[in-house]
Amino acid sequence: MITAIKRLFSRRNGNLVPNEAVQEHRYVPDLNYYDCRLTGPVTDIEPLIAAGRKLAKMAEKTGCRRYLNDMRGTRFDVPPEELIRLVEVHSHGSVGAGWRRALLVDKVDNQYLLYEIATANRNSDLRIFTERDEALRWLLEN
């Protein structure tokens, strides 16, 4: 089992300071997917970009290109253009094309719909769910 726990950081006044957000990636070999968890407020997407790159490197070892990202309880305090930038960066090399991704959220709101649409426009396979069983069932389909 490969596990990586990462405290996310933000740049404030030129210094890196920890966010309250924490991201964990755990590979589930029996089902061949990554079970990820993101908690706390997100005020900067740079740590998420770095986490995507790290997950892509972990995937090089396993060959797995599927992940469930449980973001229930996470608050995004970033402007919409930053979410679009996150999609663009992920679609060019970390966890975009060739990946199947399920996001698990408390409530599907406009911010998540924007992310889902922007991801679909870049030919990436991502769906947003509120129920874990439904998300996992979709993720593990062939």
Pair 22, 39: CB distance under 8 Å: yes
Task: Give residue 70's pLDDT.
Answer: 93
Its domain, for residue 69, covers 3-140
Q: How many domains does the chain have?
A: 1
Q: Is the pLDDT of residue 5 over 50?
A: no
Determine the average pLDDT of the residues in 104-125. 82
Rounded Cα distance, 66 and 47, in Å: 20
Side chain identity at residue 112, one-letter code:
Y
d(CA 104, CA 127): 9
CATH of the domain at 75: 3.30.750.24
Tell me the pLDDT tens digit for each residue of 36-47.
988 777 888 887
User: How far apart, in whole angstroms, are the C-alpha atoms of residue 24 and residue 37?
Assistant: 5
As a whole-number percent, the residues of the chain with pLDDT over 70 amount to: 79
Q: What is the pTM of this model?
A: 0.76
Q: How confident is the model at residue 21 (pLDDT cuts 50, 70, 90)?
A: low
